[in-house]
Amino acid sequence: MKITSNRSKAYRIFSLIVLILLAVAFTFPLYWIVTGAFKTGQDIYAQTPHLWPTEWTMANFEKLFSRRSAPLFEIGALVGPTVPGVIRWLVNTVFMAVMAMLLTCITAAMAGYALAKKRFVGRTLLFSLIVCAMALPKQVILIPLLREMSALHLWDTLWAVIFPTVGWPFGVFLMKQFAEGIPGEILEAARVDGAGEVRTFATIVLPMVKPGIGALAIFTFINSWNDYFMQLVMLASNANFTISLGISTMQAETSVDLGLLMSGAALAAVPIIIVFLIFQKYFTQGITMGAVKG
Amino acid sequence: MKKMKRILALTMALVMVMALAACGGKDEPAPDTTTPDEPTETTQEITLWTYPIGNWGKEDVVNELMAQFEADTGIKVKVEYLAYADGDDKVNSAISANGAPDLIMEGPERLVANWGAKGYMVDLADLLDDTDKTEINAAALTACTTADGKVYEYPVVMTAHCMAINKNAFEEAGALQYVDLENHTWTTDNFVKAVEALYAHYGQTVGAVFCAGQGGDQGTRALINNLYGGTFTSADHSAYTWNDPENIQALELLKGMDGIEFDASLQGGDEIVKFYQGILKMAFCWNIAQQLDPNAAGTGAEKTITGEDIAFMSFPSETGESKLCGGIWGFGIFDNGDAAKIEAAKTFIKYFCDSEHTADAVKAANYFAVRDTAEGTDLSGIWADNAIMAEYNKLMPYLGDYYQVTGGWAQARTSWWNMLQDIGEGADIASTVDTFMAEANAAING
Amino acid sequence: MAKQPKSTMSRALVRRETISGYMFLLPSLIFFVGFVIIPMFVCIFNSLTDVNMNTAGMGNFVGLKNFTDLWQDATFKEALWNTFVIVIVSVPTVCAFSLWVSSAIYKLNGKLLSAFRCIFYLPVVTGSVAVTVVWKWMYDNYTGIFNYVLKDGLHIIDKNINWLGDPKYALGCIILILFTTSVGQPIVLYVSALGNVDQSLVEAAQVDGATNLQVFWKIKWPQMMPTTLYILVITTINSFQCFALIQLLTQGGSGTNTVMYYIYYTAFKLTEKAGHFGYANAMGVILAIFIGLLSALQFKLAKEK
């Protein structure tokens, strides 16, 4: 008995050391981006890595902010003041991610409820379609989607990125898992009380699937923020760029200027990480609850 | 929970503002489509997409040019900046989405041999009168003209692509004796000796035959062709000739050299970084724009990041006289079916390629003008006060055949770097070259 | 749950349920059908034609020519194989790794646990574009930190390894990045699954003298099966999301081409195949079938358990 406890103690210490090493490895890219953003050219291009900036500089951000410019917003004829391109990209990205999040949450909550609780014709077929389409990479439908967006005059607008994100049925799948947890009796009781469909949904279903909506919201937000591929194909003008696309375009333009790239990457990553850290608790709650039903 | 609600409310408010902001973004194309109905009311707006050709990739420089142009002509130009790494994809997806720009700035290998050949471009022959034809460098004009006489690119600047060496490193390794810094030439023998000396001194890769992609491949092409006098295509551009014994010999030489590595993790741009960093002692992807660039760390023109001196060199050849790859850049017009826009785009081309403003366009590009005079303005002295440019002019006589307009060019570029990757991995050189050359040749007519 | 069998429902009820069901589904269906299903059918249709960038309409019907051409296309076969390798390698490693990490952290106190969870989630949140900027530098042939540590630090290698330039390593490098951006969610899920394991069963087994390992396999593992299956599904989805890594790091070179990248490449890169939409769509169809089979397999597994 003593031996085993010693052994398990040793194992625990060992695993803690490995965990700490892994944690360092996983935080390293972020650490490198953030410190790199403030390094001088000499530090960044040094032949042996400098783990800590020998001198802190804002030069990279100055370059980043002066590189491109765009109006802050354009609402019809109303055009905002000219700001650095990256600011506009951030505005675009936030708009895109938030829109995708709202639309996904609303549509998925409704659809998930219907799939879980309604017995309607075509339900099985629809559900299998959803399951199959879930894993489908967007590259498969890239070309038809591009032509469709062009026909709808949505190409080179953020909507061309938002709509396919909303169409991706993972959210419906997730919300169905949550809605299945709603006891049928409650719904039945509501119906007996004479509550209409809309009221039942708003007052009974929605509150019960709230954790799921929370998780789906953050999930969609992060996914949309980082969905580089659709942005690459659908957005052409600088004023419509998102931050990921802006940074990757800069990477393509000047793989030469790492400092500029690091500052851009920092600007792309830090806001989303802050959002994640704020909502982290709800997120973990949500995704775990959604998975139980798997 | 209360805090959570407040955050949520805040986000919502933010969303509303953003929603308004981006709705504008969405509506933006609308005015464009309605303007033809009331042509007198608004100014004409055209779009220009430009690859990073010298400072034509820099917004502040281009904005100034465009402001001047708008003031003079009343035509507004919306500029988008492309990168070499994904610019082609962008243009192609734009064409597929019926969103191609009105104007595009690049070289004949794209404008003429690709988009022109596929029928997306407007013939610019009517912009060229007899005076223009005599003024513009004949080779450049030929490159911009298709076999059936259509001109899909109006050229404005040109240069010769060359290579560069790290002078301090060469000196330290005792290799400076092998280069003629006065004329910027060296022989193949001296190149081999120099690399040997550098490798003996540094014990690491000093030059990279980069092949992660097509970026900067003019460097590897010129290096391999020049070492023993091989050619890339036949003289009449009807076939690729990579399996010339001279090319095979050059590839074998490079493959067998210590200090030269076939590197499939680098493209031209990455190679330049490694050279600026002082790691590679020579760069095969170079031209005057790099020579003038004060680099990312801002140490100044003709300097590496570590502060060492850079000298540009022609590629080594048996006689020392090599044939340099040319770069030609100019404007082309996409045929989007809008006569008014095509007319405006032609005004643009006339303005920047053949008028007193041409000098500004050339200066912005950091290259040499393709013509000596434009509408009576003398362009030969543009760079008279720039010592580096004047020195670089010594390379211009070595400008070789502009073969980049050979049929199947895009495929040839892809095949070329794939071929180099395979050779780098140790595949048999002669048969690998044959395979990939056949792939490129198969694309010539189709 | 509305468990009552369909047969006992009256016709009117079915109709009412169907109408109200579709009312709720409508907003979602607009997007799903409009931007996923219709493009998918267009894709299938186009894969049978020679439609290309130049064709304004639908192109000519060419039957299965695109598919037979694909069969001859060595690049496509390589891409398909690489796609397969990525899935086969990354799915089990992600699952095993996250299971191990979770079992090591789930008993830690709350603060530490959530710190670890966040850290492993960071690469997901950071986003592939920002992450590749760093990884490109870490893998660098000349100044990368991997070579620096292995050569100058640990003296394991005596010559720099060209991570992204050498076909022996490049695909592995891509998988490693994909791995770091995939483990976040599985860890969160496993941590909670481990916390939910029925403790009375565990204690009973321990009283009977079962070792930790036995407890794990006999008691905990079966209870976590639904979680594992869910993780399998999301990890599989994730392993198809490596486009950005390939586009930004290797452009499909050094043996890292995948079907996802090759479709884009065929559609838009400036090559002879550029704009051959029919051909690219045929690849899309094959990829979709491949994924369909994979999902079917996973859901069959899920049903059986």
Pairwise CA distance, residues B32 & A156, whole Å: 14
pLDDT of residue B434: 95
State the virtual CA torsion across B327, B332, B334, B335 in degrees, nearest 10.
Answer: -130
Check if B118 contacts C (Cβ < 8 Å). Answer: yes
Mean pLDDT (chain A, rounded):
87
- Going by the DSSP 8-state scheme, the letter that residue A238 receives in this structure is G
3-state secondary structure of A1: coil
The sign one gets for the Cα dihedral A244, A249, A255, A261 is negative
Pairwise CA distance, residues B286 & B295, whole Å: 13
pLDDT of residue C38: 93
Pairwise CA distance, residues C81 & A161, whole Å: 30
Tokens matching residue A226: 């980082």
Check if A24 contacts C (Cβ < 8 Å). Answer: no
Going by DSSP bridges, is the β-strand pair B310-313/B162-166 parallel, antiparallel, or unpaired? Answer: antiparallel
How distant is the Cα of A270 from the closest Cα of chain B, in angstroms?
Answer: 17
> Which H, E and C letters describe B356-395, residue by residue?
CCHHHHHHHHCCEECECEECCEECCCCCCCCHHHHHHHHH
What are residue B203's DSSP bridge partners? none
Q: Which residue has the tokens 């513009």?
A: B136
Pairwise CA distance, residues B170 & A138, whole Å: 51
Pairwise CA distance, residues A269 & A258, whole Å: 16
Contacts of A77 in chain B (CB under 8 A): 31
Reported as a pLDDT band with limits 50, 70 and 90, residue A252 is low
Going by DSSP bridges, is the β-strand pair B377-378/B373-374 parallel, antiparallel, or unpaired? Answer: antiparallel
Q: In this structure, which topology does domain B162-323+407-442 adopt according to CATH?
A: D-Maltodextrin-Binding Protein; domain 2 (3.40.190)
Closest alpha carbon to B139 in B301, B327, B1: B327
Query: Which residues are CB-contacts of A128 (< 8 A; sequence separation ≥ 6)?
Result: none
Q: Do B97 and A239 touch (CB under 8 A)?
A: no
How far is residue B440 CA from its own chain's centroid? Answer: 21
Check if C247 contacts A (Cβ < 8 Å). Answer: yes
Tokens matching residue C265: 């490449």
pLDDT of residue C305: 59
Mean pLDDT within C164-177: 93
Tokens matching residue A263: 């500052």
pLDDT of residue A291: 57
Q: Where does B42-159+327-398 sit in CATH, by number?
A: 3.40.190.10
How many Å is the Cα radius of gyration of chain A? 24
Q: Length of chain A in residues, anyone?
A: 294
Pairwise CA distance, residues A117 & C3, whole Å: 9
Closest alpha carbon to C298 in C213, C234, C205: C234
* C-beta separation of B440 from B240 below 8 A: yes
* C-beta separation of C213 from A280 below 8 A: no
Contacts of A278 in chain C (CB under 8 A): none
C 2-41 residues with CB < 8 A to A: 2-3, 6, 9, 14, 17-25, 27-29, 31-40
Reported as a pLDDT band with limits 50, 70 and 90, residue C14 is confident
pLDDT tens digits, A112-162: 999 998 888 888 899 888 888 888 888 899 899 999 999 999 999 999 999
Check if A229 contacts C (Cβ < 8 Å). Answer: yes
* C-beta separation of B334 from B316 below 8 A: no
Q: What element of type H or E holds B47?
A: strand B45-50
Percent of chain B with pLDDT over 90: 62
Which of C148, C169, C270, C273 is the mutation pick for testing B, counting most B CBs within 10 A?
C270
Question: Where are chain C's structural domains?
Answer: 42-50+61-304
Mean pLDDT within C63-82: 92
Q: In this structure, which topology does domain C42-50+61-304 adopt according to CATH?
A: MetI-like fold (1.10.3720)
* C-beta separation of A101 from A107 below 8 A: no
Question: What strand order describes the sheet that includes B162-166?
Answer: B282-286, B162-166, B310-313
Check if C253 contacts B (Cβ < 8 Å). Answer: yes
Contacts of A294 in chain C (CB under 8 A): 226-227, 229-230, 233, 302
What percent helix, strand, coil does chain A show, rounded to 5?
A: 75, 5, 20
Q: Do C130 and A284 touch (CB under 8 A)?
A: no
pLDDT tens digits, B30-75: 333 333 444 444 578 999 999 988 889 888 899 999 999 999 999 9
Tokens matching residue C158: 């005596």
Closest alpha carbon to A222 in C185, B18, C176: C185
How far is residue C138 CA from its own chain's centroid? Answer: 24
What percent helix, strand, coil does chain C show, rounded to 5?
A: 70, 0, 25
pLDDT tens digits, C267-279: 988 777 678 899 9
Question: Where are chain B's structural domains?
Answer: 42-159+327-398, 162-323+407-442
Contacts of A36 in chain C (CB under 8 A): 134
Nearest CB among A32, A144, A291 relative to C43 is that of A144
C 39-58 residues with CB < 8 A to A: 39-40, 42-43, 46
| CB count in 10 Å sphere of residue B303 | 17
Check if C269 contacts B (Cβ < 8 Å). Answer: yes
Q: Was domain A69-292 assigned CATH 1.10.3720.10?
A: yes
Closest alpha carbon to A175 in A135, A130, A212: A212
Of residues B416 and C252, the one with the higher pLDDT is B416
CB pairs under 8 A between A and C: 301
- Going by the DSSP 8-state scheme, the letter that residue B77 receives in this structure is E
- Going by the DSSP 8-state scheme, the letter that residue B332 receives in this structure is E
Nearest CB among C165, C247, C277 relative to B212 is that of C165
pLDDT tens digits, B214-224: 888 999 999 99
Backbone angles phi, psi at B244, to 5 degrees: -45, 140
> Which segments in chain B show pLDDT lower than 50?
1-4, 7-8, 10-41
Nearest CB among A102, A146, A240 relative to B97 is that of A146
* C-beta separation of C231 from C95 below 8 A: yes
State the virtual CA torsion across A29, A32, A36, A42 in degrees, nearest 10.
Answer: -120
* C-beta separation of B153 from B352 below 8 A: no
Q: Do C20 and A276 touch (CB under 8 A)?
A: no
* Burial (0-12, 13-18, 19+ Cβ within 10 Å), B14: middle
Angle between helices B59-73 and B358-365 (to 10 degrees): 170
